[in-house]
Structure 1
Amino acid sequence: MIGDENLNRLRKNLNSDESVPSKLKVGDITYNIQIAYRGSYTRKFRKRSFMIDFDDPEKFLGARKIHLNAEYRDPSLIRNKLSLDFFQDLGVLSPDSQHINLYRNGDIKGVYLQLESVDDLFLKKRGLPAGPIYYAINNDANFSFTRDDKQKESLMSGYLQASGKPSDDDFLHHLITTINSTPQSEFLSTVSQHLNMDKLLLWLVGAICTMNNDGFTHNYALYRNSDTCMFEVLPWDYDATWGRKVNGGIMDHTYVPIEGKKGNHLLHLLFQIQEFRTLYKIKLEEILETKFTVDYLENKILDLHQLVRPNILLDPYKKRKIDIFDDEPEVIFQFIRDRSSYLKEQLKILEQS
């Protein structure tokens, strides 16, 4: 529920992250909130995504903020959730999500994906130690001193701290400096002291299987566990996956190579080390045989699809495309078959030094 004046403020400042006061009613409970647009190019779509901050963070499931994603270009509206659930299944820290119907001043605005924010309350909910969290917000988040052969203005360029203290930036500075200054002969052992390598391998397998083309230099978050003193990588914004591009078109199942997209300097250096390539090959082979299969994922996909379908018919932006929506499970199934076959064929590359 939002007043006309505040709604007009949002519309007139489409590219601004400024929030306006509003109220959110969930069931019988009404919450005081601040609401703003979120995303970059997606703000120009007719159906826009939102960031919601709660005035009292303890009232709404212990959340300080949530994200409402329109999933406008995904014909299925389930790819983001399917991806995040897949990462959780692999053992990678990943935000919870659920589909909701959003109404504004009594008028339905369609099916949205409610995403948990990755912050200190995300850690608290899981009983994890406190630690800084960073969102990788653009391609500067490539673990390098440079981008496109140009020196970056700051080692923090590309990162936004979502939780932590200003002094925590020193840990990320040190990680990036270590990555860029350690000789190859010592690289794996040294970097493993700062990065949870088991979790990194699982995150990499998830990104490769789901084929997130943007997931290697942004669309991820970093969390530094204060007990282990090691960073972990978390997925974020995985709607352009499972065979679809960011514009909703079909992406060829071979588009992202088995070693990921170029640009992530950390992965570039790791893939030069045969021990890492072997570890990655073992983990990828396991997941291709067990969890990245139609047999394993079919019911998850169909259940999500059937959950959303009745609500698609109410969505003013999607209801006329129900025929495309109905075909999406098979599109995803075929992608899994094709992508799995391609990756199995490419495994031999990992044996080459």
Structure 2
Amino acid sequence: MENNGRNIPSYSLFINPRDLRELRSDIWNNEHVPAQLKISNTSYQVEIAYRGALTRELPKKSYHLKFIKPETFAGGREIHLNAEYLDPSLMRNKLSFDFFKSLGTLSPEAKYVLLLLNGTFMGVFLQLESVDDLLIKKRGLPAGAIFYAHNHDANFSLLAPDTDDVKDSLMDGYKRKVGTKSDDGYLCELIYKINTVSREDFGKEIVKYVDIGKYLRWLIGVVCTQNYDGFIQNYALYRNSDNGLFEMIPWDYDGTWGRDCYGKIMEYNYIPIRGANTLTARIMDVPYFRHQYRLMFEETIETLFIPEVLEPQVTALYNVLRPHINLDPYKQKSLRKFDAEPEYILQFIKKRNKFLKDQLLELV
């Protein structure tokens, strides 16, 4: 069931009290416990664990579900249920992934669900499609390795971002989700080339490793939505086995549209149009790529990243969520802030759009 109308599907989780105590005994434990999930009239045997980093310490937890019997649901073998607790709008992640899709960037599907746990209503959650081999298959793309950028060492550099010390491994910051150990060599070669190829040769060498057009579309998405962490984590890398090229997949985009990952205000001019990270800097140093980026950016801020296009989407998401926020035990006390968020997001879009138009000169 899609969330374009007012209906949100209900998921009922049943966990044995003993297993529930085990789950709650250690929020940092990644071990799953058995559970039963009922959707409509169908029951699924699943395993459940907490997910996330800082979100584990919050009152409303996020969950990772693996399907055991049957082994798949909606074409996937696992799903993520995000609490979106620190986002007062609950819509930033979904709005971001929908925006990336409009740019032509490979992105996970996102939909809202109502979650009950042993009969108790836990609130509204955002269900995210897992970034894995089945996502690639559903998109009709060639099989290929997938790497998660699971911490900020995934900055495409030989140096750690905080200390500037040389990393212990070219794989620092990455975790292989799909593929074999031999696929790690492709990622290591990419990182090595990014940092060692001469300035004169970089333009003709990097196209052997990265789908530049897709990278630039992803970059536009990060810059427009202003995801500060998006340059050095909050993404996955997919290597297309047919052409050997890497492309980016966005992930964890709640710290966007004028707020950071803690829900605090982030001014519209915080991130420049050129973005960040070592690979982006090297791509922007190539005049032809920079010109491509400018043309793509001009089109985006005239046709997609504008209030006229995004306001109906924001309003639609608000209307879907509003009837249920009043009942969400973790959100019902912040209704006033929730009601103010659509206008806050739209004002951010207007200011950010003007800022980025003024920054286009930086791409000459």
TM tier, shorter chain?
over 0.9
Tell me the distance in 1 between the aligned counterparts of 2:69 and 2:107: 24
Q: Which residue of 2 aligns with 1:310?
A: 323
The within-5 A match list for 1:75-114 is 75-114=88-127
Q: Where do 1:234-313 residues align within 5 Å?
A: 234-261=249-276, 264-313=277-326
Moved over 6 A (4+): none
Match of 1:173 among 160, 163, 188: 188
Distance (Å, rounded) in 2 between the aligned partners of 1:198 and 1:56: 40
* In 2, Cα distance between equivalents of 1:164 and 1:56: 24
Q: CA deviation at 1:157?
A: 1.0
Please provide the CA RMSD for this pair: 1.0
Q: Answer yes or no: is the 8 Å Cα contact 1:57–1:63 preserved in 2.
A: no
Could you tell me which residue of structure 2 aligns to residue 198 of structure 1?
A: 213
1:121 pairs with one of 134, 152, 156: 134
Q: Any idea what SS the aligned residue of 2:339 has?
A: helix
In structure 2, how many angstroms separate the alpha carbons of the residues matched to 1:49 and 1:266?
Answer: 32
Return the offset for 1:61. Answer: 1.2
Partner of 1:347: 360
Match of 1:182 in 2: 197
Q: Deviation string for 1:78-98 (max 9, x for gaps)?
A: 110000010001100000010
Q: List aligned pairs for 1:53-92, cutoff 5 A.
A: 53-56=66-69, 58-92=71-105
Q: What SS does the corresponding residue of 1:229 show, helix, strand or coil?
A: coil
TM-score, length of structure 2 as denominator length: 0.94
Q: Tell me the equivalent position of 2:56.
A: 43
1:49-86 per-residue CA deviation (whole Å, 9 max, x = no partner) reads 01101114654112111000000010110110000010
> Could you say which residue in structure 1 is the equivalent of 2:344?
331
Match of 1:193, SS state, is coil
Structure 2 partner of 1:218:
233
- How many residues were matched structurally? 349
SS at match of 1:146: coil
- Match among 11, 14, 22 for residue 27 of structure 2: 14
Matched, 1:3 2:16: yes
User: Would the aligned equivalents of 1:56 and 1:64 in 2 still touch at CA under 8 Å?
Assistant: no
Q: Distance in 2 between matches of 1:62 and 1:345?
A: 44
CA distance in 1, matches of 2:321, 2:159: 43
Q: Distance in 1 between matches of 2:269 and 2:64?
A: 34
Q: Which residue of 2 aligns with 1:152?
A: 167
Contact kept in structure 1, 2:45 and 2:70, CA below 8 Å: no
In the aligned structure 2, how far is the partner of 1:86 from the partner of 1:192? 25
Of 38-47 and 5-14, more deviation after overlay is shown by: 5-14
- The alignment partner of 2:301 has SS state of helix
- Structure 1's 26 and 343: CA in aligned 2 closer, same or farther, altered over 3 A? same
User: Which whole-Å CA distance do the structure 1 matches of 2:17 and 2:169 have between them?
Assistant: 41
How far is 1:287 from its partner? 0.1
Assess if the C-alpha contact under 8 Å between 2:72 and 2:78 holds in 1: no
The one-letter code sitting in structure 2 at the alignment partner of 1:32 is Q
Q: 1:205 is aligned with what amino acid?
A: I
- Range 50-59 or range 306-315, more displaced: 50-59
TM-superposition CA deviations, 1:6-29 (whole Å, max 9, x none): 111121111121111111111111
Instruction: Supply the AA of the counterpart residue of 1:333.
Output: L
Q: 1:3 to 1:249 in 2, by over 3 A?
A: same
Q: TM-score, normalised by structure 1?
A: 0.97
Task: Name the structure 1 match of 2:151.
Answer: 138
Distance (whole Å) between structure 2 residues aligned to residue 282 and residue 239 of structure 1? 28
- 3-state SS of the aligned residue for 1:151? coil
* Distance in 1 between residues matched to 2:56 and 2:72, nearest whole Å: 29
Amino acid at match of 1:319: Q
Counterpart contact for 2:44–2:70, Cα < 8 Å:
no
- Read off the aligned partner of 1:29 and give its amino acid letter: T
Q: Is the 8 Å Cα contact of residues 57 and 65 (structure 1) preserved in structure 2?
A: no
Verify the 8 A CA contact 1:132 1:168 in the aligned structure 2.
yes
Deviations 1:271-319 (A, max 9, x none): 2222222211111111000000000111111111100111111100001
